[in-house]
């Protein structure tokens, strides 16, 4: 380009060509090269796509989980959960949960608290059969976890996770998921019960409002309310809330608190919430520290003890 302008500039000065011709020429040259540039960019995209495809195929090559289909029974749990000296290491030798023992009676509500990395989510993962544990036993309704089909376990446990996954589709489908038995009225009913109805009705197409994958058009709090509605639609006997510290506006926060109170009724519940105000009304609080269960009791018992819970509480309220 520099050479063309230098040489062409000389020609213009000598009146051999007009400046317009030189301009046109440089413009055309650029037009010529743009598709070639585009082409090499497409090649980069293609490379990226190939790398992605490789990962997808890696994943598809993974052996399938053992679904224990033959044991599938569509049973309904009563909701008694027992951890009996459970040890877990994701990597050999690095114990993430150490000798965890506790028992939750059907319908009892407990809270798990502890610093980040203390193993709260790991306890939930184990209950859902996501990872094998190394020592001890987890029992549901008195029978070892391994005696149930994974399908039965997951059908009986309703979970609201840190990151609520929203599927592309509409709001209704995101609440009912693939449960065809659910009527539109029932969907509206559960949404009303968990306070999700209000914001849904403000959407232009209400329950038919399309949502994008991952729910970019919804706020964190709204996604959580949808997740609550999902859980309620399935009516599981065990409810788990694993909530991250998230910036939820005060109004939605109040709606969530209210929904939570309703959803735990008659369900064994494990609540992991970072705002200790969320968990004060549970029956029992378990305090985890570096994979060990260090304290257990009611909110006031634990405050009296002036241990780890007391420290966590003071950190939030002073
Ligand atoms: N899938 C995993 N593989 C290996 N290490 C993990 C995995 N998940 C969690 N951990 C580790 O286990 C510990 C406990 O994590 P986690 O149960 O997520 O804690 P919490 O939910 O209390 O913040 C952390 O040190 C974390 O790095
Ligand atoms: Mg966690």
- Residue intervals in the chain for CATH 3.40.50.300: 75-317
Domain 75-317 has CATH 3.40.50.300: yes
| pLDDT tens by residue, 172-230 | 888 888 777 788 888 888 888 888 888 888 888 888 888 887 777 788 888 888 888 98
* 64 touches ligand 1 (CB under 6 Å): no
Which one of 121, 123, 274 would you pick to mutate in the ligand 1 pocket, going by the greatest count of ligand atoms within 8 A of its CB? 121
B/e letters for 75-91, b = 16+ CB within 10 Å, e = fewer, are eebebbbbbeebebbee
Quick check: helix, strand or coil at residue 237?
coil
CA of 121 to the centre of ligand 2 (A): 4
Atom number in ligand 1 closest to CA 91:
4
**Residue 127: other Cβ atoms inside 10 A:** 20
CA of 286 to the centre of ligand 1 (A): 18
Quick check: helix, strand or coil at residue 299?
helix
User: Contact 79/239 with Cβ under 8 angstroms?
Assistant: no
Q: How far apart, in whole angstroms, are the C-alpha atoms of residue 238 and residue 154?
A: 10
Q: List CB-based neighbours of ion ligand 2 within 5 Å.
A: 121
Atom number in ligand 1 closest to CA 131:
1
* 62 touches ligand 1 (CB under 6 Å): no
Tokens of 275: 């705002």
Q: Which ligand is nearest to the CA of 242?
A: 2
What DSSP designation does 45 have?
A: H
94 phi and psi angles, rounded to 5 deg: -100, 90
Ligand 1 atom 18: the closest Cα is on which residue? 121
Atom number in ligand 1 closest to CA 291:
14
Ligand 1 atom 6: the closest Cα is on which residue? 90
* 120 touches ligand 1 (CB under 6 Å): yes
Which one of 87, 94, 119, 294 would you pick to mutate in the ligand 1 pocket, going by the greatest count of ligand atoms within 8 A of its CB? 119
Tokens of 195: 């306070």
Q: How far apart, in whole angstroms, are the C-alpha atoms of residue 117 and residue 108?
A: 25
Average pLDDT over residues 150-159: 87
Tokens of 292: 């060990």
Would you state the pLDDT for residue 138? 94
Q: pLDDT at residue 74 above 80?
A: no
- pLDDT band of 246, cuts 50, 70, 90: low
**Residue 123: other Cβ atoms inside 10 A:** 26
Contacts of 274 (CB under 8 A, 6+ apart): 243, 244, 245
Mean pLDDT of the chain: 87
What DSSP designation does 212 have?
A: -
| pLDDT tens by residue, 76-125 | 889 899 999 999 999 998 999 999 999 999 999 999 998 888 999 999 99
Tokens of 114: 């502890």
User: Contact 226/164 with Cβ under 8 angstroms?
Assistant: yes
Contacts of 221 (CB under 8 A, 6+ apart): 246, 248, 249, 252, 253, 255, 256
Tokens of 284: 């029992």
User: Contact 175/135 with Cβ under 8 angstroms?
Assistant: no
Ligand 1 atom 27: the closest Cα is on which residue? 117
* 90 touches ligand 1 (CB under 6 Å): yes
């Amino acid at each position: 380009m520099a050479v063309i302008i230098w040489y062409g500039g000389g020609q213009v000065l000598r009146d051999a060509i007009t400046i317009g011709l030189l301009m046109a020429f440089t413009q055309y040259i650029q037009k010529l090269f743009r598709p070639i540039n585009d082409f090499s960019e497409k090649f980069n995209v293609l490379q990226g796509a190939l790398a992605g495809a490789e990962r997808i195929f890696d994943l598809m090559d993974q052996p399938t989980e053992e679904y224990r289909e033959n044991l599938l029974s569509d049973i309904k749990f009563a909701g008694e959960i027992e951890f009996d000296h459970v040890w877990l290491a994701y990597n050999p030798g690095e114990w993430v949960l150490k000798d965890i023992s506790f028992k939750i009676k059907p319908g009892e509500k407990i809270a798990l608290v502890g610093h980040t990395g203390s193993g709260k989510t790991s306890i939930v993962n184990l209950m859902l059969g996501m990872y094998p544990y190394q020592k001890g036993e987890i029992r549901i309704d008195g029978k070892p976890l391994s005696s149930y089909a994974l399908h039965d376990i997951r059908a009986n446990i309703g979970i609201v996770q840190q990151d609520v996954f929203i599927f592309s589709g509409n709001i209704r489908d995101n609440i009912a998921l693939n449960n065809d038995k659910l009527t539109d009225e029932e969907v509206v009913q559960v949404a009303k019960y968990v306070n999700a109805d209000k914001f849904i009705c403000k959407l232009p197409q209400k329950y038919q409002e399309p949502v994008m994958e991952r729910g970019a058009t919804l706020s964190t709090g709204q996604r959580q309310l949808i997740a609550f509605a999902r859980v309620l639609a399935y009516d599981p006997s065990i409810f788990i809330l694993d909530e991250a510290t998230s910036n939820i506006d005060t109004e939605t926060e109040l709606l969530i608190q209210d929904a939570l109170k309703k959803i735990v009724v008659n369900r064994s519940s494990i609540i992991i919430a970072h705002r200790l105000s969320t968990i004060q009304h549970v029956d029992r609080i378990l305090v985890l520290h570096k994979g060990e269960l260090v304290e257990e009791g009611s909110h006031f018992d634990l405050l009296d003890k002036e241990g780890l819970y007391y420290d966590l509480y003071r950190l939030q309220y002073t």
